[in-house]
Amino acid sequence: MRTRFRSAFWVCLAGSLLFHASLLSHLPILTSLPEPEMPVLMAELKRIEPAPPPAVQTKQRAPAPRPAARPTVTPRAAPAPRPVLEPAAALAPPPTREDTAEVPDPSPSAEAADPSSPAAAVPVAETPAETPVEPPPVAAAPPEPAAPSVAEPQLPEAGTMTYLLYFGQDKFSIGRSVWTWSIDRSSYRLTSFSETTGLLGFFRPYQYAYVSEGQVDAQGLRPELFLVRRGRAGERQASARFDWDKRELTFGPVSAPHTIALQPGTYDFLSLIYQLARTQLVPGRMRFTITTGTKVNSYTLEVGAEEALELPIGTVRAIPVKQVRIPGEESMELWFSTAQRLLPVRIRFLDREGNMSVEQLANGIAANGR
């Protein structure tokens, strides 16, 4: 058994030696072979170069634009249209090429009307310009306040009005006011004097006094001087001087006035009220520049519809004129009686929050003159 095993071992060993000898004999051939096929590798590198894609895109864009290619299938090469199915505009025979060359029609509308023309078959960029389109309506800008129109004066030449003064919504009686006016054809003078009365006047006396003077022209009152006195004894003083030649307005405390440009249509507090009495009061808005002696502002006044009022002098019909309120600022409201020649029979002063602070109601009218 051992003899057979050893014989098989030596046979296998001999076979292995022969196989390795044969393999080593071919080794010089393997080492002397050339490099792998390099041309194949170079061809693969060319396929992934970025240059070919732009060349392909250029070739794709080379064909003519799509709108230019469509006329080849236009109705010009089609048979005669069927009269039953086609619109009336298509019944006319298409023009020949000779006619088109000899008589060109530059009108865009004529080309669009012909269904056989390329413009009728293919929309072009100029189509919106060829068909006029109505522009959308423009929203109207809000109207500016109209300039006041001066009417034939209804006020008497001179007179006096007395008022009762009330405080707050509960109308607590606090005093009285006396107004006078004198207006002729060339000049005017207006005064207003208010004071606290009763217990309030005893414990807290206070006075307000205004004087306005100026000229009268075709536009109405033209103020020149406005004086203000207020306080326990009228010790606080201010003024406004209107220099229409130099177009300057000097106003402020008497001890420290300052000057600004004088705008046309500027009034003081008193002259504005009597100017409104000489104005055609129709519903709408008007704009004025007003000085109180200590400040100057432009205000918009809104004229309302005539209404009935219950006053100490009785029931009257009056036209309201209210200042369009500016948040955070004081304002006023006036009513002009149509039966009393547009005299101011009710005046309200509103505080910065829009609440009524003081109201004065007419309780007496004494007029003379016209």
Q: Is 99 within a domain?
A: no
The average pLDDT across 289-314 equals 94
238 is a domain residue? yes
DSSP string computed for 38-60: HHHHHHHHHHT-SSHHHHHHHHH
Check residue 340 and give its pLDDT. Answer: 84
Q: pLDDT tens digit string along 256-296?
A: 999 999 999 999 999 999 999 988 899 999 999 999 999 99
Distance CA 82, CA 91 (A): 8
Whether pLDDT at 145 is above 60: no
In a domain, 3, yes or no: no
User: Within a domain: residue 29?
Assistant: no
When mean pLDDT is compared over 9-13, 21-25, 152-156, 232-236, the highest value belongs to 232-236
309 found inside a domain? yes
Look at residue 14 and tell me if it is in a domain.
no
Q: Which residue do the tokens 């001890």 mark?
A: 255
For the record, the structure tokens of 94 come out as 């298409």
Q: 305 pLDDT exceeds 90?
A: yes
pLDDT digits (tens, 9 = 90+) for 173-197: 999 999 999 999 999 999 999 999 9
Domain-located, residue 144 = no
In 262-353, which ranges are E strands? 266-268, 284-291, 296-303, 307-311, 314-323, 331-337, 344-350
- The predicted pLDDT at position 106 comes to 41
Query: Looking at residue 170, what is its pLDDT?
Result: 84
User: Domain tally for the chain?
Assistant: 1
Strand 356-368 versus strand 314-323 pairing type: unpaired
Judge whether residue 353 has pLDDT over 80: yes
Please give the average per-residue pLDDT across 52-71, as a whole number.
Answer: 51
For position 224, what pLDDT does the model report?
Answer: 97
Q: Note down the domain range covering 213.
A: 158-363
165 C-beta neighbours (distance < 10 Å), count? 22
pLDDT band per the 50, 70, 90 thresholds, residue 155: confident
Q: What is the pLDDT of residue 229?
A: 95
Of 228, 269, 226, 231, nearest to 249 by C-alpha is 226
Please provide the average confidence, as pLDDT, over all residues in the chain. Answer: 74
Quick check: is 344 in a domain? yes
